[in-house]
Every structure is written in structure tokens, then in C-alpha cells.
Amino acid sequence: MNQSQCIGKVYLVGAGPGDPGLITVKGKVLLEMADVVVYDALVSPEILAMINPQAEKIDAGKRRGRHSLLQSDTTKLLIKKARQHPIIVRLKGGDPFVFGRGGEEMEDLVAAGVAVEVVPGITSGIAAPAYAGIPVTHRNYSSSVTFITGHEAAGKYRPQVNWGAIAQSSETIVIYMGIHNLGQIIPQLKEGGLKGDTDIALIRWGTTPQQEELYGTLDDILYKVEAHNFEAPAIAIIGQVVQFKNQLGNEK
């Protein structure tokens, strides 16, 4: 199939981390103009309310234990809609290219001859810590930050993350989708050289009115997670920068 056989363009739009004020102006304009919007589970209701009332809205959301559409079905749907309509928005939480499978969707769409444009979004790995008063870098404490997924895909390009190497090479570690695997991740970080009293913050529903924060150390955070029944979706921030939580009065 060549490009001329498609009448539409697919826009891979980042919805941002949750706060509707953090979607880009371009992303908002595209939602208002869209003929079809295919959106993910973590996109806030306030952002969904920005969608053109005449647009077809399709929930392709994925959460732990629930998949509205398989990834392959989502891509096929986007290709089909691009043959029928001018403006298709694929609305993804955070940024499309940061643990959002946007790269995979772009590959498949381009291979099918579909025009694609990427509209970046603010990722939760920087936004949620910022709302908690935690800078992921700081000239006096952290000149490096690693963003990493704690939930790897089966059959991926390598068997597992080298957590020991991450522990030795980065002063701030931000883990996406890792709360259910902290019991396996933390021992590997400690084996890699991080001390048990290293600070860790868990932030749930970041940048929304429901934002919750849980603070501890690598030694005690698993007990606190259980005691507070702290669940996904959440990110983890590990390193000295977590100490800045007190400066905005957000300590819990």
C-alpha cells in the first residue's frame, strides 16, 4: 500500500501525565479537530472532554490485567480509520515515545503507507516528581537520571534490565510501572551497590487531584507499600533528590 491510498494522517499525541493543563496546545487543537480519537486508559476525563463532540471515540486502554484492544488490533484500527478520515488522533498518556509503544505504532503505520506526525507530551517521570517538589536532577546532588521500565515485555530484545549496572551508573533512578515488581528490583539494586537507607518515593496518580505519595528507603518501602495498600499506577524515584520533598510541604 502506498501513501496516496490513505486520505488521512495519524497524529501520535502525548496527553501528558494527567493534569489537563499539561497537554500541549497542539495536542488540544488536534483533539478539537479530530475525526477519530483512539485513546489509552490513563488519559484523564478532563482531557477526553476536549475531544471534538462529533469525533468517533475508541477506548484502546491497557491496564494491568485488562486490555481493551490488543496492540496489533489497535494498529490495524488506526490504519483502517486513516483510509476513511482526514484526522486520526492516537492519544497516549504521557509521551508517545516514553514507554508508550508509540515507536512500534509509528513503524507499523509508516510501513502501511500512513502519514504520521508525533506530538510529544510531558512524561510522568518528570512531572509527578515535580508536583511532589522532587527535582530529578540537581547540580549539587544528581547530574544523571535514568528512566526505566519496571514491567518488561515478554519476548523482548533482551531478557532483563541489568539493575546492578543501573545502581552504579545513575544518581537518580525513575522507574515506570514497577510497583508490582519492587520485591524483585530492590534486592538487585542493593546488590549493585545502593545502600538500604537510600531514599525512595512512590507517586500514584501524579499531577492529578488524587496524587498520593509514599516515602521511605530501600529497606522499608516494601513494608510501607503493604501497610498503606499502595497500588499502581505509580512511579518510583530513587536517590538523594527525594530529600527535597520536604521543601514544598508534601511529606506524607
Q: Which positions are annotated as active-site residues? A: 40, 62, 177
CA dihedral 209, 239, 125, 135 (to 10 degrees): 70
Q: Beta strand 87-92 with 9-14: parallel, antiparallel or unpaired?
A: parallel
Q: Beta strand 212-217 with 172-176: parallel, antiparallel or unpaired?
A: unpaired
70-103: b or e for each residue (b if 16 or more CB lie within 10 Å)? eeeebbebbbebbeebebbbbbbbbbbbbbbbbe
How many alpha carbons fall within 13 Å on the CB side of residue 246? 4
CB 42 within 8 A of CB 18: yes
Q: Beta strand 212-217 with 199-204: parallel, antiparallel or unpaired?
A: antiparallel
Helices (H), the chain: 25-33, 45-48, 71-82, 102-111, 124-131, 163-169, 182-191, 221-228
Sheet holding 234-238, edge to edge: 145-149, 172-176, 234-238, 199-204, 212-217
Intra-chain end-to-end CA distance of the chain, in Å: 55
